[in-house]
Amino acid sequence: MRERILIRNADAVVTCDPADRVLYNSDILICGNRIEAVGSNLAAGDAQIIDAAGKYVYPGLVNTHHHFFQAFVRNLMTIDRSELTLMQWLDDIYKVFVRIDGDVIFYASAACMADLIKHGCTCSVDHQYCYTPATGKQGVDRQMEAARLMGFRFVAARGTNTLPRWKGSTIPDEMCETTAEYLDDCQRLLALYHDPEPFSMRQIVLAPCQPINCTEDTFLETIRLARSAGVHMHTHLCEGENSSMVRRFGVRSLEWCRRIGFVGSDIWLAHGRETLPEEYALLAENRMGISHCPAPTMLGGSEILDIPGMREAGIPISLGVDGCATNDGSNMLDTLRLAYLMQTFLSKKRGGCPSPYEMLKLATVGGAEMIGRPELGQLAAGKAADLFMVDARRLEYAGALHDPASMLAKLGVTGPVWLTMINGRVVYRDDHLTGVDEAKLLQEGRSAPVCCGIPARPLRPIAVIHNRRKGKCHIWTFSCFSMCRRSSMSLAVPFTSRYLRHNRSMAGTRGRRTGALSTISPAQSWCC
């Protein structure tokens, strides 16, 4: 017999249904993994009661683009996206990614899922393209392990990089696969994990990383396999690579996709910020969606996606957190508010912007539709029991509770939510993950052999770079999550040498001035 739960007397239920109903002093009756009814004074019967007095209830947020494995480069100032172009950043960051192992993927995934759950996200796509000698082909397997532990609804986008570095990619040779290797693993994952049924907790998406780092054959074979298996496809596009695509192929990214047939309603793109108005028709005609990731746009000082123009053209839009390397977090509520504020910044120039509630629908219904999950993103009879609650009785909300539908995007929620439910199960409540020993996981994650086998220690400066032109000194510190004194490789050199070249700088270590960066040894550069 399926368990019944009655969420009783919520101050407000923001349904995000087609009628955009906001129900006050209402109940939600849940049977098993789906919603049976939403309304007032619902009969409890034998249902377990959750008292929702003082709470606002929302559909679970759907995150359509992430990179869990990057969690261990959060706050890594040595490779700061704000200081680099996309291509520079890709070239530098992969020198870190190449050292990731299976334990990193597991604990990073658990950390990201915890962050998502605590901030109202109940389903996430993760674009896993990090395959190193240490991970083997087990990247998605370790993510599935974490998703089962956390009770999280998970869509694994199996990525790959197949273009060798000598042919122009930004990928270290150790992280390149052949198209055949990628396809073999995709078939394995589809057979092992993909559940196409409504309300499923795990699905597989095929997702070559991006055209600049994959062969054309990889995309062609992805189309063939995905459509024969009936699964969606995903990739990065129009995020800063267009100039490289023009040099390599003579056309922009979207035109290249059109030429090879990588178009359709079963495909959505990450970022899309470089998309030109004259390219909107191609996306709209094919119902190709865009996962808008506001954090990397801000961090990179990039173009702000024209959501009003794209929606008017008929392009589906959803929201994504993006990887921790360009976000430093996995907070969908933060992503939602940031996306709204970015749109308001250009509202006068563009003749308006989406309302806060419209932005919420991009993060709920919009995300659900983009990944082909119509049972998600709404609070209505027959939909999945995926939801979260905000305690509106907190002091910080005094005088600000005028519109529950607008609150998340306009006001923001600065801390964790009160409760999160996924598939009819409470996975987080009142500051506690249920069924998970969070302290144990935290300790394991901190002590795990993260790439080189030792726990991280406090940062300390390794180089002082003097900028004569600006009269400033920059002290660079390096996280030691992935390297130690035993490392034979220094990532300090490629990063800081850029500043030496462009700023006629001098470098020093541990307060001792020197005339050349070469005096920094590998042992000094990663000070574990």
Per-residue pLDDT tens digits for 326-347? 888 899 999 999 999 999 999 9
- In sequence order, the β-bridge partners of residue 179 are none
Q: Which residue is it, tokens 């094919």?
A: 286
DSSP string of 429-482?
ETTEETT--HHHHHHHHHHS--SSSS------EEEEEEETTTTEEEEEE---SS
The verdict on pTM exceeding 0.75 is yes
So what's the pLDDT on residue 103?
A: 93
Helix (H) or strand (E) holding 404: helix 404-410
Rounded mean pLDDT of 503-514? 36
- Give start-end residues of each CATH 2.30.40.10 domain in the chain: 4-59+378-432
Per-residue pLDDT tens digits for 127-182? 999 999 999 999 999 999 999 999 999 999 999 999 998 998 888 999 999 999 99
Q: Lowest mean pLDDT: which of 70-74, 145-149, 184-188, 470-474?
A: 470-474
DSSP string of 46-94?
TPEEEE-TTEEEEEPEEE----GGGGGGTT-GGG-GGGS-HHHHHHHHH
So what's the pLDDT on residue 80?
A: 65
Q: Lowest mean pLDDT: which of 85-94, 118-127, 259-268, 379-388?
A: 85-94
- DSSP 8-state code for residue 303: P
Upper half-sphere CA count for residue 487 (Cβ side, 13 Å) = 26
Rounded mean pLDDT of 179-196? 98
CATH node for 4-59+378-432:
2.30.40.10
So what's the pLDDT on residue 499?
A: 33
Phi/psi region, residue 430 (left: phi>0; alpha: psi -120 to 50; beta: rest), is left
DSSP string of 328-380?
S---HHHHHHHHHHHHHHTHHHHT----HHHHHHIIIIIHHHHTT-TTSS--S
CATH node for 61-376:
3.20.20.140
- Give start-end residues of each CATH 3.20.20.140 domain in the chain: 61-376
Task: Look at residues 198, 185, 121, 195 and name the one whose alpha carbon lies nearest to residue 159.
Answer: 185
Residue % of the chain over a pLDDT of 90: 72
Cα distance between residue 42 and residue 87, in whole Å: 56
Residue 440: other Cβ atoms inside 10 A: 9
